[in-house]
Amino acid sequence: MPRPALYSSSRHTRRSPPEPVEQAPVPTAQSATGTDVTLPNPSNQPSTQAANANLSRRHLRTLWALITLLATLLLYSLWLHQRPASHRITQEDIDAAVLRTLETTTPPSAAARAVEAISPSIVRVVGYSRSKNGKEEVERGIGTGVVIVDKGVILTNLHVVAGADRIAITFHDGLETTASITGAQPENDLAVLQAHKVPDDLFAAPLRSTQDLRPGDHVVAVGFPFGIGPSASAGVISGLKREFTSPEGKRQLSNLIQFDAAANPGNSGGPLVTLDGEVVGIVTAILNPTSARTFIGIGFAVPIENAASAVGMPPF
């Protein structure tokens, strides 16, 4: 008869698993296939020392990285403090800057600005004639001209160039050339010249109608009085629609602008200019009852409307 199995009357008590003991990680190596392979650890003590060495090196690298970061932040902070703070420009700043400029800088006068604007268009005109023996040239007249078309079209007085065998022109930049008479208006003592050579940057003078001129308006006369120049003199419009008869009685001119800016022989043919640098007339004569032929306060200019019609320019 089989023997009955025997059972214990008490249940087996479970034992708690032992607490894990921290051990240094076992170093691994990478196989040729890229997977980590656990290296054998024959002795636990050497593995712990290697782990501690690796940890020290990591701490050292972390420490140096932290020091570098702090140094960078410190330098950036110093740069921010030393950099001038940005300032938004206000209208008060602009006004103050303008005021300082006006207080420390003397701007050119209105007459000076007008002369500067018109100077590139001014030319010296000299007429030459042959001597009696025909071997020498004799200077017969010096005057002024003004370029009104940048291709070398010049206005001057007819009496400056009439009868000349050769007309010499000197431009503002010093270029010297000859010119031919291409048109004349004897009733206004005007001649139109064409220069045979012109500067590359030749500047034509701006022209302005005389319709709004009034006595008292400021003007400037620019030319070569007695061959000296270019010279400038300032004055005002003294009157309009004046008439003039030359001392010899050979010229009678009408509808002239009277002005008191100093003009002398050599100014003939030069421009009468507003303070905006615009030509309103061509200086043509001075009034002097004596034989001195010098300025005593009355000059005359042909209105630019007449002068422009001499070259076929449309009226203003």
Interval 106-114 mean pLDDT: 90
Q: What is the pLDDT of residues 142-175, one digit of tens each?
A: 999 999 999 999 999 999 999 999 999 999 999 9
Q: Catalytic residue at 231?
A: no
pLDDT at site 56: 66
- Domain assignment present for residue 73? The answer is no
Whole-number pLDDT of residue 60: 74
Domains of the chain: total: 1
Catalytic residue among 159, 172, 231, 233: 159
The pLDDT value recorded for residue 9 is 45
- Is the pLDDT score of 127 beyond 70? yes
Q: 3-state class of 51 per DSSP? A: helix
Does residue 64 sit within a domain? Answer: no
pTM of the model: 0.67
Rounded distance, CA 85 to CA 189, Å?
69
Q: Is 44 exposed, middle or buried (0-12, 13-18, 19+ CB in 10 A)?
A: exposed
Task: Let me know if residue 76 belongs to a domain.
Answer: no
Does residue 4 fall inside a structural domain? no
172 is catalytic: no
189 an active-site residue? Answer: yes
Looking at per-residue pLDDT, the higher value among 71 and 209 belongs to 209
Asked if residue 51 is part of any domain, the answer here is no
Of the pLDDT bands very low, low, confident and very high (cuts 50, 70, 90), residue 289 is confident
Is pLDDT larger for residue 38 or for residue 273?
273
**Which amino acid is present at 54?**
N
Pairwise pLDDT comparison (108 vs 27), residue with the higher score: 108
Q: Tell me if 159 sits within 8 A of 181, measured CB to CB.
A: no
The torsion region of residue 174 among left (phi > 0), alpha (psi -120 to 50) and beta comes to: left
Report the DSSP beta bridge partners of residue 122.
146
Mean pLDDT of the chain: 81
Q: Which pLDDT score, from 0 to 100, does residue 47 have?
A: 54
Could you give the count of Cα atoms lying within 13 Å of 122 in the half-sphere of its Cβ?
28
Among the options 121, 231, 233, 268, which is catalytic?
268
| Active-site annotation holder among 121, 172, 189, 260 | 189
User: Per residue in 130-144, pLDDT tens?
Assistant: 888 878 889 988 999
Does residue 290 have a pLDDT over 50? Answer: yes
Domain span at residue 201?
Answer: 115-309
Question: How long, in residues, is the chain?
Answer: 316
Q: Is the peptide bond before 230 cis (omega within 30 degrees of 0)?
A: yes
In a domain, 199, yes or no: yes
Q: Which CATH number goes with the domain that contains 223?
A: 2.40.10.120
- Quick one: 72 exposed, middle or buried, by C-beta within 10 A (0-12, 13-18, 19+)? exposed
